Amino acid sequence: MDDRVKVFERAKELLLGHDMMGFADLWAVDGTIEFPFAPPGRPRLLEGREAVREYVRDYTDHIDLRAVAHEVVHLTEDPGVLIVEFSMDAVAVGTGRPLRPGYVAVITVRDGEIASYRDYWNPLMLDETSFGSEEGRTHG
C-alpha cells in the first residue's frame, strides 16, 4: 500500500478509536496543519506536533466520530501528496445531535509522518459544537 494512503488509513483508525494523542503523533515534529476556511477567532495554522496535540486533546469532549460516511482518495503525481474527500458520521457530544462533518484535505507525507495537512473543512459545523472555541489557539 502507498505510504500516503497508509498514513491516512491510520489517521482514520485513530480518529474512530478516539485516540487523539495517537492521531497527533502521526505529525512530524515540525509538521503543520492549516485551516484555510477557519472563521475569525479560530486557529488557521498550527505549527509542530505539540501544537496539533494541544489542539486535538479535547476533541472527543465535543465531537464523537462514529464512522466514515463517504471517502474519495486522490493520489497525486507528487509521491508525497494525497488529496482526500471524506465525511464522517458523528454526534455533537453537548447536544446529542447527529453531525456529518465533511472535509477535503491535502496531506503531505514525509518519512511516514504528516509534514503538512491542509484541512478544508466546513466551519458552519462549529455552530453544532463548542470545539475549537478556546482562546489562545489561533496562529496567523
The domain spans of the chain are 3-122
Which class is 3-122 in CATH?
alpha beta
User: Which tens digits make up the pLDDT trace of 115-140?
Assistant: 999 999 877 665 555 444 443 333 33
User: Which tens digits make up the pLDDT trace of 59-77?
Assistant: 999 899 999 999 999 999 9
Average pLDDT of the chain to the nearest whole number: 89
- Say what the pTM is: 0.86
CB contact at 8 A, 49 and 31: yes
Question: Which among 81-85, 101-105, 132-136 has the top mean pLDDT?
Answer: 81-85
Q: Find all residues with CB under 8 Å of 37, minimum gap 6, and list them.
A: 120, 121, 122, 123
What backbone phi and psi angles, to 5 degrees, belong to 91? Answer: -135, 135
In angstroms, how far is the first alpha carbon of the chain from the final one?
36
* Nearest Cα to Cα of residue 73 among 63, 83, 58, 60: 83
